[in-house]
Each structure stands twice: as structure tokens, then as C-alpha cells.
Chains A and B, each alone.
Chain A
Amino acid sequence: MAESLIQAYSNSPRRQKLQIIGSIFMAIVIAAVLLILYLVVSARVVSVGRQLQQAKDEIDQMVYLSVNYRNQISYLSRFELMEEKAKELGFRPPYPGEVFYVPVTGFDYQIQPHVESVEDARPAVINVNLVEYHETLIDWIGSQLSIFLRPFEGL
């Protein structure tokens, strides 16, 4: 009896139409939510993209600037200028007979100078691995959810 009543209720033409309409609304709402999420993520990507473009411009500017500074340092410390300044200060190259060697026990005079440009020899540490650069929509939703749920952890 009860089963036949439920069947009669759900199979009534009005209920069936309401279900269809409800499903359509539900689909629209879900699509709208997804689109809103997409727009939020998209806006974030745009923002990060702009930052990236700006960062690249700044990198270029820094390269030009660093090249200028290095060039200036090289010009100011060039051999010709250094020699001239040394001469002005009264220095001159020594001759072998003017050099006094003092034997120091344990000192190896043949030790070769350690040739290494610290700046160049060190592996470059450049963070090109920005999260936003590789993050998918699902990753982002996951991260946002975890941020949202963080206050409720431990309750």
C-alpha cells in the first residue's frame, strides 16, 4: 500500500516536471559556481602573470644595471690606472735582489693560488618554481579548501 502511494506520488506528471525543472536549475547553479571559481582562478592567474611580466622586466633592468656596474668597476681597476696610481704614490716594481725571503717552517711556497670565482662557481639559486606557475584548478580548490578548513581542525 505504502509503496504504491510513493510510486503514485513520484510518477504524477506535475512532480515529474518539477524534477526536470529542478535538475535544470541545479545544473545552472553548478555551472555558475564552477564558472565563478574559474573566474577567481583566472583573475589570480592574470595577476600572477602581470607580476611575472613585471619581474622579467625587472630582471632585464637588473642585468643592464649589473653589467654597467661591473664594467665600471673593471674600468676603474684596470691595470694601467692602478700602475699609474701606484707610481704617483711612489711605488716601483722591485728587482729580485731587493726581495728578502724569510724561511718559515712548514710553509710551502709552491702552493698554487686557489682560482675560483665564488660568485660564478656557486650553483645558481633562482626560484623559478612558483606554485602559481604550475598549479591546476583542482590543486587550487584543494589549497583553498584546506585554508578554509584550517580553523575547524581539531574541533
Chain B
Amino acid sequence: MTEKITYNWRYITIAVFFSFFALAIMGQMVRIQLTVNTSELPVPGLLGQWEKAASRRGLILDRNGHVLAGNQTVYAVDINFEEFYQEGEIEEVKILAEIAIEVFGINNRHLLEFLKQEPRPLTKNITVERFATQEKLLEFLFRVENYYQNMPPEPLDENSGEDPLIPLPENLEVIDCNHLIRVSCTPHLIRSYPENMLASNIIGFVMRDTKQGQLGIEEKYDSTLFGNDRTLWALWDPHKADQAPDPDHGANIILTIDSVLQADVEQILDRHIKKTGALAGSVIVMDPRTGEILAMASSPRADINKYWSDDYINIINNHENVFNYAIKAYEPGSVVKVLTMAAALDAGVVEPDTEFIDEGKIEIGGVTIRNWNKKPWGPQTMTTCLQNSLNVCLAWVATQLESEQFYAYFQDFGFGQLTGIELSGEAPGLVKSHWSPDYTRSELGTNAFGQGIEITPIQMVKAISAIANQGEMIAPRIIHSIVDDGYRYTPPKTVVGHPISAETADTLTDMLEESLQNESSLALVPGYSLAGKTGTAEIYVPGQGYKSSATNTSFVGWGPTDDPQFLVYVWISKPSASIWGSEIAAPVFKKVVERLVIHLGIPPDAVRMTLQD
């Protein structure tokens, strides 16, 4: 019995010993699994680090895939001055600060004061440059390393490339500054506009500090383009590797713009503005069948890569808040006669050959309206009224419609309403109606020839599309597609109304084709059938009334008249060479059409008829 008890005690002792041993091993396993030795981590004492995903802002491309707005890798350069002080390396701090000021061209007053202050205050990390380009960073690192190696600093050859505008570092690899103690460079992405000024009035720009889109497409589609470079606290723990942020790139936007045509139109507009001493201008080219804007030039323009430059303050932040003249409202003048005549023909109050005796003046609502040359023109048809751009005749046409019908047509043409073009800052314009409290009947007469109302060029293009497109009014659009994560959305062509019948549109097109032959020969392009109308509007000066010395000159035209494939609107503001639309805006139309028929491959009418046969 005693022997058995002794054996039991031994068994129990062995069992307890092994149990403790096993439990100790298991406990240690669990401890290792659950606890972290922070001294062995990449940054001692920290369980993780802030990580930012390299998410790029969506690209803006033209209709052929040419990049208009892209991204660029730049670096935030930090210097840890505290560690220099701790090591007593005062001279190093001075040299490093001097190199940074010289290479990065630091002109921030506070930063300069800090870098030049002696003795320098104890501050940990100082960001000496937030947007250092690859080229500048390489130069900075080269000079810092030269200094450390006690070599005389030699600047990099900046002119190694043919074009100083092109950053041409030795390679495009992402620069790593880890080999340099106390200097860190963190890559991040900023917006870049390779075409500089091209289509800048359409694109807008992105603020470097806030990364917010301003003006144009950048503002309108800010949330779509935005690349979410979210910053997350990512743990070193490999079990939680999935917590590191993934890049969330913004959607790409493809515009309807053709950048080659856009460049041509911008060049034509710029040269003409310079030649005529004008203040500003805009040219829109649209495909009236689809509403796609093929070019939208506006002058003056800014280099959106340097939007902060003093040179562009007046363009970006002017008192009229105009960045793109294509969406600015103005009094267009006689181009509106086209729509007045369209309304009258459609309502059946006049016919193309309706006779009107022009006596040189007409009184409407107590106001006397006169022709542009203040003279009577005698017997006229509706076609010659347009051809000679007679204010008196068109004012009379408006009275035949009467206010209610006249403004109902203007409402149908979309005046006083936004067109919905995908650009930030579109003006709705201003068109009164007969029930407006401050409306006077005289405005029926003046509105008929485009004075006393405010319309944007893009509204005019939309309204005229109804005439060029057999009564079908198309919404203008500048977004061809939005591409996100492999999926593409293409907005459909939108018919926004039928303000006039197809017959009216055809009749008016024939009238305008005929009148253009005589009214403005400077707009004609040999071989192509075109319809169009000039416009000249006096500019209202507060306190002085309308001044005939300062005008807005316009031209609207389309072609080929039997199968319209382009619609061009020109607005030149305050030219000094001449005040007439037929002399200022019409030649711009001609030059633009000469370029676009080649670019779009539209053969002359004779050849086209052969092809169609």
C-alpha cells in the first residue's frame, strides 16, 4: 500500500512538472504573439507610421488622348536642425540653410528669417521646400554631398536639355534621401499642365496647397478627378499589412476638345486680338450635330502651371470674375437678329420676301431706334434686312411678334438659363420678359437686335444649333467621357428642345447664306457654302450710356449649309482698329474655318457632292 502511494506521488510530480513546463512554453508563445518589442521596430518606440498612398489626380485628356492635365512627382524636403544642434554642428546648419535658400530659391519671408536667424531657435524638422522638383532636389543633394565630402560645390548643368522648360534629370527614378542623415525627402504628387497655356481657360487649375480645383473643369469635376491620397496610421505589424492605404486614383476625364484645333484657334484669336488692339475675345467651335465643343479659345489666358504669378492675377482674379470669355455674358448685338428672324418666320408673321419700307427710324415704347448708319434704306425684304443688318427692320419684326411671343421664343432658345456646359462659372445671362417689373416696351425693339440683353457665347452657340440642325437644339458639351477604374461613362447627345421647325431652320439658313455673300465677304471661304451673321454692339458705360467708340464685335456662322458639320462663334471685345463686326470678327471666322475644314477633313462642296453621290 505504501509503495503504491509513493508511485502516485512520483507520477503526480512528473505530471505537474511537465504541465508547468508546457504551460510556460505556451505562455511564452502567446506573449510573443501578442506583445511587441518596440525597440526592434524600424522606428524605435513606434508601432507604426503615417503612410500616404500615392494616389494621382485624374488626367484630363483631349479627344485624341493627348494629356492636357497630368501629375508630377515632387518632394517635400525636411531638414532636422535639432540633431545638428545636439551634435554642436552649427557651421553645418549654416551651410545647409544657404544651399537650401540658393537651390530652392526660397522667398518665404518667415522661412528665410528662420534660416538666417543666429543663433537659430531649437526646432525639430523644418520643411525647406514642399514642392521640390526632381531636378532641384538632385541639385540640392549633390551640393550637400559635395559639402560633406569637403569638395567645392559645383552647380549641375541646368542646360543639359535643349529646352530649359523640360525637366531632364539624369533618371526619373524616385529619389531616396535615406542615405543622408538629417535630411529627408518625401515624394508626393502635384498637378502638372504639359501644354502650359493651351486650353487653360477650359481646364482651370488646382491649388498646390489645398489640392482643390479652381475654375473650369478642375473645379466643376473636382470630386471626380480627386485622387484620395489618404493618410493612415499603418502598423509595422505584418498581420495588419492590409491596413496600409491603397492608392485611390481619381477618374480620368476625356474632353471633346481637339487640342490641335484648339491650338490653331487660340493662335488665330491671339494674333487677331493683338492686331486689332482688342481687350479680350473668345471663339467657340462646335459640332452642331452632337453638341461637342471641338475648340473653345478665350483670350487672355494664363499659364496654369504658374497660376500664382503676378502676370496672371488679373486673368484669374479680375473684378468681373471672368476666366473664360466663352461663358461670360455680354450684349452681343446683331447676331441676335438671326434668332429674332427665326422666331418671326416660325410664328409666320413674316416671310423671306415680306417687304418692309425702311425709313431709317422706328419708335417703340417712346424710344426711337435707328439703323447702324443712321440712314433710311428704303424697300427691303427680310433677307436684305439681315444682309444690311437693319435695326429698324428687325425692331419692326419684333413688334409683329409682340412681346409675349418674342420672349417666349427667346425663352425656348435658352436665354437667361445656364446651358449646362460642364464648366465652372457659367453666367446665365440676362433677358427680361414682358412681365418683368422694370420692363419697358422699348426693350422689345432693342432686344430684337441684341442690345439691352446679356447672352453668353455658349448660349448663342446652343441657340444657333437649332438653326444649323434643322430645328433641333443640342446642349453643348465639353466632356466626352469619364473613365474610372476601367469603366467608362459617355454622356449622350442631349436634344434640349425644338424652338423652331425644320422648315424655318432651312429657310433661315438659305437667307443667311445669301445675305452673307453680300454682308461680310471677309467671312467667306472659297469652295464652302456658309451661313452667318455679323454683330456689333455698343458697350454700355455706367453714367455715360452706350458708347459707339467701344463695341463688342461678334460673328456666328456654320457650314456646309446643306450638311452643317461645324458652328463657329467669334466675339472680340473692344477692338481699336475698327468697331464693326464685319471687319473684326468676320476675318477670324474665316481663318478658323480655313483651319478646321482641313483638320476635320471636310472637302469643298464640289468634292463633297461627288463623294456623297
Alpha-carbon distance A10/B604, docked complex (angstroms)? 112
7 contacts between A and B (CB under 8 A): A49-B239, A71-B70, A74-B70, A75-B166, A99-B603, A115-B480, A117-B254
Set of chain B residues within 8 Å of A35, measured between Cβ atoms: 25-26, 29
Quick check: A109 and B603 within 8 Å, CB to CB? yes
Q: Identify which of residues 1-42 in chain B touch chain A, using a CB-to-CB cut-off of 8 Å.
A: 4, 7-8, 11-12, 14-15, 18-19, 22, 25-26, 29, 33
CB-nearest residue of chain A to B72:
A71
One of B86-94, B193-201, B364-372 contacting the partner:
B193-201
B310 adjacent to chain A (CB < 8 Å)? no
Binding site for A on B (CB under 8 A): 4, 7-8, 11-12, 14-15, 18-19, 22, 25-26, 29, 33, 53-56, 61, 63-67, 70-73, 134, 163, 165-167, 172-174, 187, 189, 192, 194-196, 198, 237-242, 244, 246-247, 252, 254, 259-260, 263-264, 480-481, 483, 485-488, 525-528, 565, 594-595, 597-598, 601-604, 607-608, 610-611
Q: Which of A64, A73, A83, A115 contacts B254 (CB 8 A)?
A: A115
Set of chain A residues within 8 Å of B7, measured between Cβ atoms: 14
Q: Which of B241, B242, B604 gathers the greatest number of chain A CB atoms within 10 Å?
A: B241
A122 adjacent to chain B (CB < 8 Å)? yes
Q: Which of A13, A56, A121 contacts B4 (CB 8 A)?
A: A13
CB-nearest residue of chain A to B593:
A96
Set of chain B residues within 8 Å of A81, measured between Cβ atoms: 163
CB-nearest residue of chain A to B65:
A117
Alpha-carbon distance A45/B601, docked complex (angstroms)? 61
Closest Cβ of chain A to B2, distance in Å, is 13
Alpha-carbon distance A117/B7, docked complex (angstroms)? 85
One of A1-9, A23-31, A136-144, A145-153 contacting the partner:
A23-31
Alpha-carbon distance A47/B241, docked complex (angstroms)? 11
Q: Which of B54, B259, B263, B483 contacts A120 (CB 8 A)?
A: B483
Main secondary structure of the interface of A (DSSP, over half): helix
With an 8 Å Cβ cutoff, the count of chain A residues facing the other chain is 66
From known contacts A21-B11, A117-B61, infer whether A71 and B192 are also in contact, taking CB-CB under 8 Å: yes
Alpha-carbon distance A150/B268, docked complex (angstroms)? 76
Closest Cβ of chain B to A125, distance in Å, is 9
CB-nearest residue of chain A to B15:
A21
Alpha-carbon distance A79/B238, docked complex (angstroms)? 48
Top 10 nearest A-B pairs (CB, nearest first) are: A49-B238, A74-B194, A123-B486, A49-B241, A63-B54, A52-B241, A60-B54, A74-B67, A120-B483, A68-B172
